[in-house]
Chains A and B, each alone.
Chain A
């Protein structure tokens, strides 16, 4: 597609459940990023993938969070045993290379009841 695609756009789930968020980056973009944005706040870096290199997971807030990127394209962010503080908008971005402007998807709004 023309832009970064994320799904689902909205997700409501009960505390303790696992959720999986999907990001389909722009074709040909080697770098992929996940961010979290809480209401009225800036972006919090979560994880970064560059090509086939090991991902930078330094921003993941706990071991309940994990992400993978298959075949250098689609990425999934998984949150296990969700907590209410996980409620936020999760944004995915991709860029042609790591030092290029990032193009963002519309995000997944996650609400934990």
Chain B
């Protein structure tokens, strides 16, 4: 059974700092997603990582995938307040079913 663990589950940081969110999963998968959710809002797709060593960047966010270690990271560079949200990773269990992490609530203080 595929299990997905994120850590930390809660992160409070100052603007301008760097930090990394980790997503570990328990069985082989070649497709991993990162989503963002603002309070009271729905989920927004950020990245799709499809192969070992994949790295994608959008603004201050960079995601990477190591399929051998079953690990993905979401790195935040020089955080700004607008990045405050809950971030979820989700791993493809088969061709269509995603198994979700519990989410990392990120608060960035001015």
Name A residues whose Cβ lies closer than 8 Å to a Cβ of B.
31, 33, 40-45, 48, 50, 56, 91, 93, 98-99, 101-107
Contacts and interface: CB of A to CB of B under 8 A. Distances in A.
Given A42-B88, A42-B101, A42-B102, A101 B96 contact: no
Given A101-B33, A102-B45, A106-B42, A42 B100 contact: yes
Interface of B: 4, 31, 33, 41-45, 48, 88, 90, 92, 95-103
A67 to B, nearest CB: 15
B97 A42 contact: no
Contacts of B100: 42-44
Given A40-B103, A101-B33, 11 more contacts: A42-B102, A43-B43, A43-B100, A45-B97, A98-B95, A99-B31, A102-B33, A102-B98, A104-B42, A104-B44, A105-B42
